[in-house]
């Protein structure tokens, strides 16, 4: 959602903060700000300097005064939750005297109540944010004496909600205090300098040695080291770990956008998801992190997949794979709805949480609800060490590499590949024959090259996108395996191009949506070469008869009487076909968004990690 970065050391903090914020901008991009402690001089004590603006990090950089110097600083890029995007609502927030500065990710649920009490005691509020109460609370406790960390601990004891925070105090410029509860904070260890951020992407340029704080933990960060402790001031020892993501993963690498780069990274991402997990001899998959033995797996009667947005659609493809290969009933459900219907949690159901970021609050809360009621949850997660990964009983990492563009592409594909591995593993301890197992193993191995073949059609897809982008809206249709592909295709188009798109099972057209069909509302149709081919062609005939335009994605050219245009993708095994059918739809959405001049990597109103409800 929002991004936090902090630096303390011998260098000038502001360029480091700005660089970090630029890397975090994908998380939130409606306003940004920094605060530094200006160095002590003979004539003046240490002083806090603040600069914050509505707009992007580039606007902040332009607004920064030339002499904005300080060796300790905190920064924030915001995605508004409390209060509109504005200079005043941008973080950092300060107390009356401007001595304490706070940046915050998350939501303070009792902010109104705290604000009323603080205002009665003389606090002057300058923003509509929940975060500002934290600055006043910390200042109030600091006024009572003691160290900054004690004041932060005391303030947090009064707060209900989620937070990742960094606090700077002009009175103690030798330290920054950070805290985590439900919103990540990671420390970066440098040479006589220290960093902190909400996400390792802001740190990898400077250090690979990181420490992830746990919920309920705080840290005092000084240039020469750090100390971690609990809200009750108990010291905890945290060992640093090494980040293996390359700094280059956070650059566009010569592509026009991160989204295009990430679409093109898919062959490599799939190779990494598969790496070391395929067992050709026994025609199965090895999944070391499930923490379930074969007997426990055999006792599972049902699989329930939970995720939000594209993760939910990837789960729909996953459910289909599990039912087809393992013949275990499987279903995907939006995690955002799940816990509100008081779900029945069954001991013989395996729950699987899907999340690229591993931070999505709705998915995390769904996992916690399942666990509270005694269920067992596996995570299919991209971000190592993320909140969801840590909350789950076991699972699989995608190893897709960092995904920066707001819209998910490579993580989506890797998630479906991970489900194919899980389904294969399940299948082979149930009824899936060795021959069918071998067929799936071979199909999975062929995927990276087949994805490359689809990507080679980029120019053709770009030309089609230019033609279809200006439509009033788009219909996406598919049947059975093709339906989740249609849903994900429509989602991609609407989120980055803002063209309205709806997905329907092709079989449902006659039951309502056929009324929408006209030359202004073209249809993207998934037409795999499978047992439903004839039925799909009949649906296309019905659309054409009503003057609807059709762009088919198929395994062989489709006749003009059924489609105006056709993109042909390589055939995989039928169960794996959805993976390849989805790739042209990513490129179609991307090029439509570019043709319409959209901000492809940072679509309006959206943020990469949705860490609030
Ligand atoms: C769509 C998209 C979102 C995410 C959803 C879940 O392109 O990116 O729909 O899939 O917000 O995010 P994660 O996977 O991080 O839990």
What would the pLDDT profile of 387-416 be if each residue is shown by its tens digit? Answer: 899 999 999 999 999 899 999 999 999 999
Which residues, in sequence order, are CB contacts of 27 under 8 Å at separation 6+?
A: 1, 2, 3, 77, 79, 198, 199, 607, 608, 609
Nearest to 273 by CA among 384, 414, 401: 414
- Quick one: CA torsion of 136, 137, 142, 145, rounded to 10 degrees? 140
Ligand 1 centroid distance, CA of 525 (Å): 24
Query: Partners of 330 in the beta sheet?
Result: 303
- Whether residue 467 contacts residue 363, with contact meaning beta carbons closer than 8 Å, is answered with no
pLDDT average, residue stretch 328-356: 96
- Whether residue 41 contacts residue 17, with contact meaning beta carbons closer than 8 Å, is answered with no
- Whether residue 421 contacts residue 380, with contact meaning beta carbons closer than 8 Å, is answered with no
CA distance 228 to 218: 6
Ligand 1 centroid distance, CA of 70 (Å): 37
| C-alpha distance from residue 312 to each of 10, 315, 475 (Å) | 46, 5, 20
pLDDT of 599 > 80? The answer is: yes
Residue carrying structure tokens 């789960």: 315
Mode of pairing for the β-strands spanning 100-105 and 163-169: antiparallel
| C-alpha distance from residue 187 to each of 4, 92, 201, 221, 517 (Å) | 11, 19, 12, 8, 54
Strand order in 176-181's β-sheet? 93-94, 100-105, 163-169, 176-181, 217-222, 225-230, 235-236
Q: How many residues does the chain have?
A: 613
Ligand 1 atom at shortest distance from the alpha carbon of 412: 10
Strand order in 376-381's β-sheet? 330-334, 302-307, 349-355, 376-381, 394-397
Q: Write down the pLDDT at residue 89.
A: 93
Q: How many CB atoms lie within 10 A of CB 115?
A: 19
- Whether residue 139 contacts residue 202, with contact meaning beta carbons closer than 8 Å, is answered with no
Question: How would residue 127 be classed by pLDDT, with cut points 50, 70 and 90?
Answer: very high
- Whether residue 218 contacts residue 152, with contact meaning beta carbons closer than 8 Å, is answered with yes
What's the first-to-final CA gap in the chain, in angstroms?
11
Structure tokens at 164: 């990742």
| C-alpha distance from residue 56 to each of 31, 68, 137 (Å) | 6, 19, 29
Nearest to 20 by CA among 103, 98, 84: 103
pLDDT average, residue stretch 533-548: 94
* pTM of the entire predicted model: 0.85
Which residues, in sequence order, are CB contacts of 490 under 8 Å at separation 6+?
A: 474, 476, 501, 502, 503
Nearest to 103 by CA among 44, 28, 45, 15: 28
What would the pLDDT profile of 162-174 be if each residue is shown by its tens digit? Answer: 899 999 999 999 9
Q: Is the dihedral of CA 481, 483, 484, 485 positive or negative?
A: positive
Ligand 1 atom at shortest distance from the alpha carbon of 363: 16
Ligand 1 centroid distance, CA of 496 (Å): 13
Q: How many CB atoms lie within 10 A of CB 511?
A: 9
| C-alpha distance from residue 166 to each of 27, 239, 292, 492 (Å) | 17, 21, 39, 34
Nearest to 131 by CA among 171, 200, 80: 80
Q: Phi/psi of residue 161, each to 5°?
A: 145, -165
Our mutation pick for probing the ligand 1 site, out of 310, 355, 411, counting the most ligand atoms within 8 A of Cβ, is 310
pLDDT average, residue stretch 88-93: 95
Return the minimum-mean-pLDDT range out of 27-36, 314-323, 524-533. Answer: 27-36
CA distance 365 to 363: 5
Nearest to 302 by CA among 375, 246, 351: 351
Ligand 1 binding pocket, CB closer than 6 Å: 308-311, 355-357, 360, 363, 407-408, 491, 495, 609-610
Q: Write down the pLDDT at residue 385.
A: 80
How many percent of the chain have pLDDT more than 90?
85
What would the pLDDT profile of 424-445 be if each residue is shown by its tens digit? Answer: 999 999 999 999 999 999 999 9
Our mutation pick for probing the ligand 1 site, out of 259, 308, 380, counting the most ligand atoms within 8 A of Cβ, is 308
Query: Partners of 108 in the beta sheet?
Result: 161
Ligand 1 atom at shortest distance from the alpha carbon of 311: 10
What would the pLDDT profile of 314-326 be if each residue is shown by its tens digit? Answer: 999 999 999 999 9
Structure tokens at 334: 């939006």
Ligand 1 centroid distance, CA of 533 (Å): 31
Rg for the chain, CA atoms, rounded:
26
Tell me if the bond preceding 189 is cis, omega within 30° of 0: no
Our mutation pick for probing the ligand 1 site, out of 408, 414, 586, counting the most ligand atoms within 8 A of Cβ, is 408
How many percent of the chain have pLDDT more than 70?
98
Collapsing DSSP to helix, strand or coil, 429 comes out as helix
Which residues, in sequence order, are CB contacts of 96 under 8 Å at separation 6+?
A: 122, 123, 124, 136, 139
pLDDT of 281 > 80? The answer is: yes
Nearest to 453 by CA among 282, 310, 583, 604: 583
Ligand 1 centroid distance, CA of 492 (Å): 11
| C-alpha distance from residue 306 to each of 170, 319, 576 (Å) | 45, 10, 21
Q: Write down the pLDDT at residue 573.
A: 97
CA distance 140 to 158: 12
Nearest to 461 by CA among 416, 493, 498, 503: 493
Ligand 1 atom at shortest distance from the alpha carbon of 357: 15
Question: How would residue 27 be classed by pLDDT, with cut points 50, 70 and 90?
Answer: confident
CA distance 24 to 453: 33
pLDDT of 420 > 80? The answer is: yes
Average pLDDT for the chain: 94
What would the pLDDT profile of 226-263 be if each residue is shown by its tens digit? Answer: 999 999 999 999 989 988 766 667 788 899 999 999 99
- Whether residue 74 contacts residue 168, with contact meaning beta carbons closer than 8 Å, is answered with yes
Q: Write down the pLDDT at residue 204.
A: 87
Nearest to 411 by CA among 354, 468, 457, 449: 354
Among all residues, which ones are annotated catalytic?
Answer: 2, 608
Q: Give Cα 471 distance to the centre of its chain.
A: 29
What single DSSP character describes residue 289? G
pLDDT of 450 > 90? The answer is: yes
pLDDT of 42 > 70? The answer is: no
Ligand 1 atom at shortest distance from the alpha carbon of 407: 7
Ligand 1 centroid distance, CA of 127 (Å): 30
pLDDT of 82 > 80? The answer is: no
Q: Give Cα 277 distance to the centre of its chain.
A: 24
Q: Write down the pLDDT at residue 309.
A: 97
- Whether residue 172 contacts residue 133, with contact meaning beta carbons closer than 8 Å, is answered with no
- The CA-based angle 22-173-206, given to 5 degrees, is 35
pLDDT of 40 > 70? The answer is: no
CA distance 384 to 390: 9
Mode of pairing for the β-strands spanning 550-554 and 523-527: parallel
Atom 6, ligand 1: residue with shortest CA distance: 308
């Amino acid at each position: 959602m929002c991004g936090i970065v902090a630096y303390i050391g011998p260098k000038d903090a502001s360029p480091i903060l700005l660089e970090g914020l630029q890397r975090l901008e994908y998380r939130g991009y409606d306003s940004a700000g920094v605060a530094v402690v200006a160095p002590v001089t003979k004539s003046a004590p240490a002083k806090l300097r603040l600069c914050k603006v509505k707009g992007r990090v580039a606007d902040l950089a332009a607004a920064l005064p030339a002499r904005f110097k300080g060796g300790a600083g905190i920064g924030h890029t915001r995605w508004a939750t409390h209060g509109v995007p504005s200079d005043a609502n941008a973080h950092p927030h300060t107390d009356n005297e401007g001595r304490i500065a706070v940046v915050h990710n998350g939501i303070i649920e009792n902010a109104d109540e705290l604000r009323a009490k603080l205002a009665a005691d003389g606090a002057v509020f300058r923003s509509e944010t929940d975060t500002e109460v934290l600055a006043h609370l910390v200042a109030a406790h600091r006024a009572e004496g003691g160290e900054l960390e004690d004041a932060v601990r005391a303030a947090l004891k009064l707060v209900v909600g989620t937070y990742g925070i960094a606090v700077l105090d002009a009175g103690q410029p030798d330290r920054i205090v950070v805290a985590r509860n439900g919103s990540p904070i990671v420390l970066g260890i440098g040479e006589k300098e220290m960093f902190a951020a909400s996400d390792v992407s802001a740190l990898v340029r400077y250090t690979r040695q990181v420490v992830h704080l746990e919920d309920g933990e705080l840290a005092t960060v000084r240039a020469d080291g750090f100390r971690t402790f609990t809200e009750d001031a108990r010291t905890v020892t945290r060992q640093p770990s090494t980040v293996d993501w390359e700094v280059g993963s956070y650059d566009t690498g010569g592509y026009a956008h991160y989204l295009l780069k990430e679409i093109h990274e898919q062959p490599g991402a799939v190779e990494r998801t598969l790496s070391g997990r395929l067992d050709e001899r026994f025609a199965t998959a090895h999944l070391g992190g499930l923490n379930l033995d074969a007997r426990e797996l055999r006792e599972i009667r049902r699989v329930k997949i939970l995720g939000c947005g594209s993760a939910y659609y990837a789960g729909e493809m996953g459910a289909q794979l599990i039912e087809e290969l393992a013949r275990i009933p499987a279903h995907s459900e939006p995690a955002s709805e799940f816990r509100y219907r008081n779900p029945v949690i069954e001991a013989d159901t395996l729950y699987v949480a899907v999340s690229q970021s591993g931070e999505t609050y709705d998915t995390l809360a769904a996992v916690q609800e399942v666990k509270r009621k005694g269920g067992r949850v596996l995570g299919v997660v991209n971000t190592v060490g993320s909140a969801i990964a840590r909350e789950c009983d076991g699972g699989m990492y995608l190893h897709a590499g960092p995904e920066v563009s707001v819209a998910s592409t490579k993580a989506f594909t890797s998630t479906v590949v991970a489900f194919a591995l899980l389904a294969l593993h399940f299948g082979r301890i149930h009824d899936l024959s060795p021959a069918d197992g071998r067929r799936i193993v071979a199909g999975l191995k062929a995927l990276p090259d087949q994805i490359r073949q689809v990507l080679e059609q980029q120019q053709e897809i770009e030309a089609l996108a230019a033609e279809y982008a200006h439509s009033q809206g788009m219909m996406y249709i598919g049947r059975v395996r093709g339906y989740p592909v249609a849903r994900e295709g429509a989602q991609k188009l609407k989120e980055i191009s803002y063209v309205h798109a709806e997905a329907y099972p092709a079989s449902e057209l006659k039951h309502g949506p056929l009324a929408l069909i006209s030359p202004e509302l073209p249809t993207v149709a998934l037409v795999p070469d499978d047992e439903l081919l004839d039925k799909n062609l009949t649906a296309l005939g019905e659309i054409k008869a009503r003057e609807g335009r059709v762009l088919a994605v198929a395994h062989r050219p489709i006749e003009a009487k059924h489609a105006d245009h056709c993109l042909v993708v390589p055939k995989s095994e039928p169960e794996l076909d959805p993976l390849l059918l989805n790739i042209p739809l990513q490129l179609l959405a991307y090029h439509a968004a570019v043709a319409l001049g959209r901000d492809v990597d940072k679509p309006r109103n959206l943020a990469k990690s949705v860490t609030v409800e």
